[in-house]
């Protein structure tokens, strides 16, 4: 995302806090006015000392005023910082909320194509970096700009000639700062992207620690991490090094300005056209005039980093959301389970075809098995039935309703899913089983757990159904986690079932019991079973044999064996 577009987006968030912004600018103006008043008081005090006899009363008068002005300035500075913090972290809250809300409505293809850690890095790390830059911008940018304008006006009233010297030389620091800033934006963007890559890799390694250890990939993982870490170190060092040149370069220019003012002012005092007090005052203003250039240039550098990070989070916020439910979308309730797929075509990427001209008609209560080699489109069919992805062409109907004309929520409430990959959350065993039916009683929950043969191992846990498990099951074995998912389906009893290798992690003895429980569960319910072990689907009413995204054979077990085709080869192999 281009810088201009990012800044426009940032200002759209700041508009929500216009009155606080105006108050902050007002405080900045008053702070600068008071700060600029101090050198005048000090100059007057010096003149009271320089006039032969020291006027102690006058000196004390000016010093008391200096103390009062400094205290007032400190109070207003504190109030301005409170306002700036309020605005900054409310903007950050708004951006994070919008980003997370957007994440809920993004199509699954976005999540599938981006590493989880990289998305987390955008919402957490990049927004924090943006907040730091924004806060620095508020704190220093306002006061810096107002200080430059204020000192310029006062210096012009004191001595236009010396002011001209300051005005001619000082812009050099802006040119230097701008040159460095424009070149560091790309560096900070690379740094942010590499940091996201590192976060994604760390998240992946932690989430799959058992797999890494099981395959002895610790050394290889460390090598990959070291490579990413080295690249992050190099691009971070490069970005910070070039951005850190701004301050010394602008300070060098400012020192030249100060020296020129001192030299010109000294000759003016010697000629009798200026008092020592006014020269002192002028030197103070020259310092105050040039100091904001350092601060503003530093802020600009920080803002480059902040804008680069903001660009990444805005890219997420501006991603195309999934197609919303139609305004006239119907609510699907108590589905009978009649499913018709007509001329369905789908592919994840346009250049790689997957499912083409897919046709099947399933009657209510039928048991449908989907078999075929890896990559033939079995899981994709499930994604289309659940409308995790929309078909490119053709139609899928449930009870005569085209699924794009019913709400996603009501469609998915009519399905129960048990996949090879378990879905569990941090919480108690009770919370995880009741996830699909929160209003269920404990008695119903226990009956469901017994039907799934999970009750016995749950009772052996330290706190039974009140045992807290971590994300994705934590301490439980893969088989136990799958039994909990099966218990959830036994409790909710939806009219349609999807079982994708539902017993793949369960021992043979328990699997036989689960299969008998599934047989009872599937009575009168339309069921889709994805299986690699063909022995588990011999009693299916319809077996869909898929290859390269197409149904090449269809029938029951006996019919397909008798045909001697691809299914017979798979079964006999």
Q: Please give the pLDDT value at position 285.
A: 74
Whole-model pTM?
0.65
Q: Please give the pLDDT value at position 357.
A: 82
| Residue 535 contacts residue 369 (beta carbons within 8 Å) | no
Q: What are 371's strand-pairing partners?
A: 545
CA 381/CA 354 separation, integer angstroms: 10
Distance separating the N- and C-terminal Cα atoms of the chain = 53
Q: In the chain, what are the domains?
A: 3-317 (1.20.1560.10), 339-572 (3.40.50.300)
Sign of the alpha-carbon torsion through 223, 227, 232, 237: positive
CA 209/CA 573 separation, integer angstroms: 34
Q: What are 542's strand-pairing partners?
A: 368
CA 122/CA 111 separation, integer angstroms: 13
Q: Which residue has the tokens 């002028």?
A: 282
Q: Please give the pLDDT value at position 301.
A: 66
Sign of the alpha-carbon torsion through 26, 9, 181, 122: positive
Q: Please give the pLDDT value at position 288.
A: 73
Q: Please give the pLDDT value at position 1.
A: 63
Q: Which residue has the tokens 């010396």?
A: 162
Q: What are 418's strand-pairing partners?
A: 499
CA 446/CA 441 separation, integer angstroms: 9
Q: Please give the pLDDT value at position 51.
A: 55
The structure tokens listed for 18 are: 């216009």
CA 57/CA 176 separation, integer angstroms: 47
CA 150/CA 141 separation, integer angstroms: 14
Distance of CA 513 to the CA centre of its chain: 44
CB atoms inside a 10 Å sphere around CB 91: 21
Residues in the chain where the model's pLDDT stays below 50: none
**Nearest residue to 286 via CA among 259, 258, 260, 252:** 258
């Amino acid at each position: 995302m281009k810088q201009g577009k990012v800044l426009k987006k940032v200002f759209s968030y700041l508009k929500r806090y216009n009155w606080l912004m105006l108050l902050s600018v007002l405080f900045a103006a008053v702070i600068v006015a008071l700060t600029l008043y101090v050198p005048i008081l000090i100059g007057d005090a010096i003149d009271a000392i320089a006039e032969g006899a020291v006027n102690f009363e006058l000196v004390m008068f000016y010093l008391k005023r200096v103390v009062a002005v400094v205290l007032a300035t400190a109070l207003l500075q504190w109030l301005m910082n409170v306002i700036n913090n309020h605005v900054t972290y409310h903007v950050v809250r708004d951006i994070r909320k919008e980003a997370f809300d957007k994440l809920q409505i993004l199509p699954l293809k976005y999540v599938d194509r981006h590493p989880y850690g990289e998305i987390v890095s955008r919402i957490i790390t990049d927004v924090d970096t943006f907040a730091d830059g924004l806060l620095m911008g508020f704190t220093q940018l306002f006061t810096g700009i107002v200080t430059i304008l204020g000192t310029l006006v006062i210096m012009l009233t004191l001595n236009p000639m010396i002011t001209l010297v300051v005005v001619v030389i000082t812009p050099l620091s802006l040119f230097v700062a701008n040159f460095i800033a424009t070149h560091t934006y790309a560096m900070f963007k690379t740094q942010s992207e590499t940091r996201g890559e590192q976060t994604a890799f760390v998240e992946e390694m932690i989430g799959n620690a058992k797999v890494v250890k099981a395959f002895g990939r610790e050394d290889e993982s460390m090598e990959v991490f070291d490579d990413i870490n080295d690249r992050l170190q190099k691009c971070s060092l490069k970005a910070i090094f070039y951005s850190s040149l701004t301050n010394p370069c602008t300070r060098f220019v400012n020192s030249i300005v100060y020296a020129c003012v001192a030299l010109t002012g000294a000759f003016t005092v010697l000629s009798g056209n200026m008092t020592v007090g006014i020269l002192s005052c002028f030197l103070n203003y020259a310092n105050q005039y040039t100091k904001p250039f350092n601060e503003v240039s530093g802020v600009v550098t920080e803002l480059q980093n902040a804008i680069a990070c903001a660009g990444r989070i805005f890219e997420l916020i501006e991603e195309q959301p999934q197609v919303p439910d139609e305004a006239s979308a119907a609510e699907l309730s108590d589905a009978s389970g009649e499913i018709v797929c007509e001329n369905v075509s789908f592919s994840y990427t346009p250049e790689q075809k997957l499912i083409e001209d897919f046709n099947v008609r399933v009657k209510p209560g039928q048991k449908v098995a989907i078999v075929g080699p890896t990559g033939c489109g079995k899981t994709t069919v499930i994604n289309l039935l659940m409308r995790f992805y929309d078909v490119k062409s053709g139609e899928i109907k449930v009870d005569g309703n085209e699924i794009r004309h019913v709400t996603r929520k009501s469609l998915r409430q009519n399905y129960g899913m048990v996949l090879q990959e378990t879905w569990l959350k941090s919480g108690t065993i009770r919370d995880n089983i009741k996830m699909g039916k929160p209003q269920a009683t404990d008695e119903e929950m226990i009956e469901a757990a017994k039907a799934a043969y999970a009750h016995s191992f749950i009772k052996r846990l330290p706190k039974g159904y009140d045992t807290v498990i971590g994300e994705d099951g934590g301490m439980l074995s893969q088989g136990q986690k799958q039994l909990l998912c099966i218990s959830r389906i036994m409790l909710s009893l939806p009219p349609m079932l999807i079982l994708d290798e539902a017993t793949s992690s369960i021992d043979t003895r328990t699997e036989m019991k689960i299969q008998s429980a599934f047989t009872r569960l599937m009575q009168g319910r339309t069921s889709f079973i994805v299986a690699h072990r063909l022995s588990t689907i011999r009693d299916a009413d319809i077996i869909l044999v898929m290859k390269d995204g197409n149904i090449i054979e269809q029938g029951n077990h006996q019919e397909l064996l008798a045909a001697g085709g691809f299914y017979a080869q798979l079964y006999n192999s």
